[in-house]
Amino acid sequence: MGESFQKIVDLDATAAEAAELGHTLLARLVAAQIVVATPSDCVLGEPFGHAPGARWRTVVTEPDDRLFTRLRTNGLRVVTGRTVFFAGPDVYRVACPHCHVADRSDDDGPSAQWSRFWDAVDEWHRGASDGFACVHCGAFVAMNDWAWDDLPWAFGNLALEFWNWPPLAPSFVADVGAHLGHRVRRTTGKL
What is the CB neighbour count within 10 angstroms for residue 74?
A: 20
Instruction: Provide the pLDDT for residue 110.
Output: 59
Those residues with Cβ within 8 angstroms of residue 187's Cβ, 6 or more apart along the chain or in another chain? 6, 7, 9, 85, 86, 87, 151, 152, 153, 154
Report the C-alpha gap between 97 and 13 in whole angstroms: 22
DSSP-assigned letters across all residues of 111-165: -HHHHHHHHHHHHHHTT--SEEE-TTT--EEEGGGSEESSS--EEEEEEEEEESP
Instruction: Provide the pLDDT for residue 1.
Output: 61
Handedness of CA 80, 81, 87, 88 (dihedral sign): negative
Instruction: Provide the pLDDT for residue 7.
Output: 94
Instruction: Provide the pLDDT for residue 26.
Output: 97
127: left (phi over 0), alpha (psi -120 to 50) or beta: left
Instruction: Provide the pLDDT for residue 113.
Output: 67
The end-to-end CA distance of the chain, in Å, is 9
pLDDT in tens, 1-22: 688 899 999 999 999 999 999 9
77 HSE (CA, 13 A, CB side):
20
pLDDT average per 10 residues of sequence, the chain (191 residues): 88 95 97 97 88 95 80 93 76 81 66 73 82 88 83 89 95 97 90 80
Report the C-alpha gap between 24 and 78 in whole angstroms: 11
Instruction: Provide the pLDDT for residue 39.
Output: 95
Instruction: Provide the pLDDT for residue 90.
Output: 58
Nearest partner of 182 among 26, 6, 7, 13, judged by Cα: 13
Instruction: Provide the pLDDT for residue 87.
Output: 67
